[in-house]
Amino acid sequence: MKLLLRTNAITMAAIAVMLAFSITPLSAKDYNIAVGDGGGGTQEALGKAFIEALKKSTGGKHTGTLFLNGQLGSEQDTVNNAAIGTLDFSILAINNITPFSPTVGSLTLPYVILSLEDAEKVTQGPIGEQLIKNTVRDAGVRIIAWAYSGFRVLTNSKRPVKSVADLKGLVIRVPKNAIMIDTYKAWGVSPTPMAWSETFAGLQQKVVDGQDNPYITVYAMKFDEVQKYVTNIRYIFSIEPLIISEATYQSLSDEDKAAVIKAGKEATTASAKFLRESESRIKADLVKKGMEISDPENNEKEFIDLATKAVWPKFYESIGGVERLNEVLKELGRDPVK
């Protein structure tokens, strides 16, 4: 009798194992997701929300693993790797996609996006849809979610900066992004282009004195350890998409494609919530850690006038014509430029 029970138990266990294998699809995947920033920031929040939503929308079939802090390469390298299909997903700042698909520059022209609401409106409407098509066409990657990180504030290790004149003599790191390089030139300094993955070391070793990125990114990258002064400039509202290699996307079944898009939409909503709930706490934390915050003089007027006058016209052609900028301005309820 005992022997019979034991045999039955073994048979049941074998059937359970067989069943488990037969209902786990062979194509189940754990995708590698490159993340440019360290933990605690918007990029990680977007990535975590995407993985959770993907698991949910595929009934647990697909998942993903985040590789933080540029472990899978600099942000611009991850665009190349996704384009050739050696990387499936990456979360990175939009300014690091612009060199591969210049029309997304309409989102990084200085002083175009002036709030989180502006960023949501532009990315989640017809303009965002068109930019997604353009990135597939130009760069072989598809944007499936948007993270919102706040304004890129200026930090440096030398002195408080309140005016354009105060910038003189500071060596500022910028991404390899023509719009950002030209913005600093309009402010009278020649910035140093440097990959994101090298920026902490560059600041620490004083190769550069400063950089700009949102408060949340400054916090995630522990820049408070190597930077003291912050200036609340608002020239770029940082948008950080999740991209999927177009080759990977096209290899998915229709059902999986829909699941990925749905997960991306949910992650986008979660990212905006994360920013709304955490930016002021993180800013206060950075002050506690010793950072000193200044506002630019005269409501930033000099910064705004110099940047918009010199930079906007220079990039009309690369973003697809002045009419592309006017579409964005119209969507945001602002007057067009002539």
Residues in touch with ligand MLT (CB under 6 A) = 36-37, 75, 92-93, 95-96, 175, 196, 213, 217, 240
Residue 45 or residue 259: which is nearer to ligand MLT going by CB? 45
Residue 242 or residue 259: which is nearer to ligand MLT going by CB? 242
Residue 58 or residue 278: which is nearer to ligand MLT going by CB? 278
CB of 126 to ligand MLT, least distance (A): 25
User: 59: left (phi > 0), else alpha (psi -120 to 50), else beta?
Assistant: left
Residue 36 or residue 202: which is nearer to ligand MLT going by CB? 36
CA distance 52 to 57: 9
Residue 207 or residue 252: which is nearer to ligand MLT going by CB? 207
Q: For residues 197 and 71, is the Cβ–Cβ distance under 8 A?
A: no
CA distance 111 to 131: 19
Cβ neighbour number for residue 93 with a 10 Å cutoff: 28
Which tokens belong to 136? 């597939």
CA distance 225 to 152: 18
CB of 95 to ligand MLT, least distance (A): 6
Q: Which of 235, 232, 149, 221 is nearest to 191 (CA)?
A: 235
Sheet with 63-67: list strands edge to edge.
63-67, 30-35, 89-91, 237-245, 141-151
Residue with the shortest CB distance to ligand MLT: 93
User: 329: left (phi > 0), else alpha (psi -120 to 50), else beta?
Assistant: alpha
CB of 28 to ligand MLT, least distance (A): 30
Cβ neighbour number for residue 180 with a 10 Å cutoff: 24
CB of 44 to ligand MLT, least distance (A): 11
Q: For residues 82 and 206, is the Cβ–Cβ distance under 8 A?
A: no
CB of 165 to ligand MLT, least distance (A): 24
Q: Which of 145, 123, 117 is nearest to 47 (CA)?
A: 145
**Residues β-bridged to residue 89:** 33, 244
CA distance 96 to 175: 7
Residue 214 or residue 296: which is nearer to ligand MLT going by CB? 214
CB of 39 to ligand MLT, least distance (A): 13
Q: Which residues contact 133 (CB under 8 A, 6 or more apart)?
A: none
DSSP state letter for 226? T
Residue 49 or residue 92: which is nearer to ligand MLT going by CB? 92
Q: Which of 319, 309, 151, 150 is nearest to 327 (CA)?
A: 319
CB of 142 to ligand MLT, least distance (A): 18
CB of 175 to ligand MLT, least distance (A): 4
Residue 75 or residue 120: which is nearer to ligand MLT going by CB? 75
Residue 103 or residue 238: which is nearer to ligand MLT going by CB? 238
CB of 205 to ligand MLT, least distance (A): 18
